[in-house]
Amino acid sequence: MNTTLSGLKVVELSTFIAVPACARFFADNGADVIKVEARGGDAVRWNGTSEGRSDSPYENTTFDLENANKRGIVLNLKSAEGREILFKLLDGADVFLTNWRPQALEKNGLTYDALHEKFPKMVYGTLTGYGDKGPDKDLPGYDFTAYWARGGVMDSLRQKDEWPINLIPGMGDHQAGLFLAAGVMAALFNAQRTGVGERVSVNLLHSSIWVQSIMLQAAQYTDMGQKYPISRRTADNPFNCAYKTRDGRFMQISMPPFDMFYPKFMPLIGRADLVGNPRYTMDNITKNKLHSEFIDILTEAFEQKTVAEWDEILTENDIPHSVAQSWEEVLADRQARAADVYYEMDYPTGNTRSLVRQPIFIGAELPEYKMAPLLGEHSEEILRQLGYGEEQLAALHDSGVYSTWDDLKAQHNG
């Protein structure tokens, strides 16, 4: 078990992917992370069918991915008693994490200013679709919309004159979530030195713009380069393209310093005759718009061998490349397995599934991977730790202030 952050208390009031992924970083590294949910639960709990997987609460791979190693409590925050419990949780917490929009935080007295006054040392982390100010700050933001579409990823990655690519859930959320974790860690370091907690803010739109910033900044030079989306046949560097092999697979090569790799690479594809040909320097290709012509040469060459043959040739000659793998192949990838990317979870259903670890390892010990809490699983345990006695628990439970998994499992296939 990794105990790097042991003793740290984190309260998470969020749903979906980005902030839960951030909170899981702390849970993986030994912090006590308490996830607060409404009676209906985080909507990600019920996504199984739409993702083509089991919808059993006892085999919930997506929810485990974002919420492993946490404890969970169900509170009715519309009640005065529920809000009181939340504030008791925050009393002594080192970090508060939320993805509630600014208007909702204001309405519920959960803004940074309000909480900082009560808990001055607590670090406050927030992640939204569009940020904390500006005309669209209160718009709902998912990664498909704020990150992929509005941020520009979706339109720039498609082939020219073609439909956009199929989007993959969580890609933007996971990046933004770990951006938030980095900011919160910096703020925690400062809080330990000064006794003052700061507000850390991340949003999906800015995260999208940041990860594309090399090309986005270059787009200002409108008299140079190409306007995206582009066709692969006009790619600026033909050595950074994917090519189809004889067996219908795709091989991605990546040789950014074109002229440096050229004399080594061309003999490997059977075109030693072109080595030394001044027509195919990067400068001449660019000046005379020979991209399509040169790509045709590479296309024809790659079609002569299978992907396995090319993999062997390129590996032996230290050429940066990779087969374009399917998800099934990635699950079996020998390097990913050797690098501890996966954890084998034995579920109560009797099934064993490969779950993906977060990509940050601290120290020699791998993080534990406990199943995410069932809805309300730790409600009474957490309340007892806050000092509530059995009579108080009974009264709060009877009035609907908190719920347990026993209350809720019948309606959720439990």
Residues found in the chain: 414
Single out the catalytic residue among 136, 173, 296, 406.
Answer: 173
Would you say 239 and 301 are in contact if contact means Cβ atoms under 8 Å apart? Answer: no
Q: What's the rounded Cα separation, in Å, for the pair 11 and 32?
A: 8
CB neighbours (10 Å) of residue 158?
A: 15
Output the six-digit token pair for 165. Answer: 């690519």
Q: Which of 62, 42, 66 is nearest to 53 (CA)?
A: 62
Would you say 94 and 122 are in contact if contact means Cβ atoms under 8 Å apart? Answer: yes
Contacts (Cβ under 8 Å, ≥6 apart) of 298: 238, 241, 243, 269
* Annotated catalytic residue 173: yes
First to last CA, the chain: 29
Which residue matches tokens 């919160």?
Answer: 184
Residues forming the active site: 173
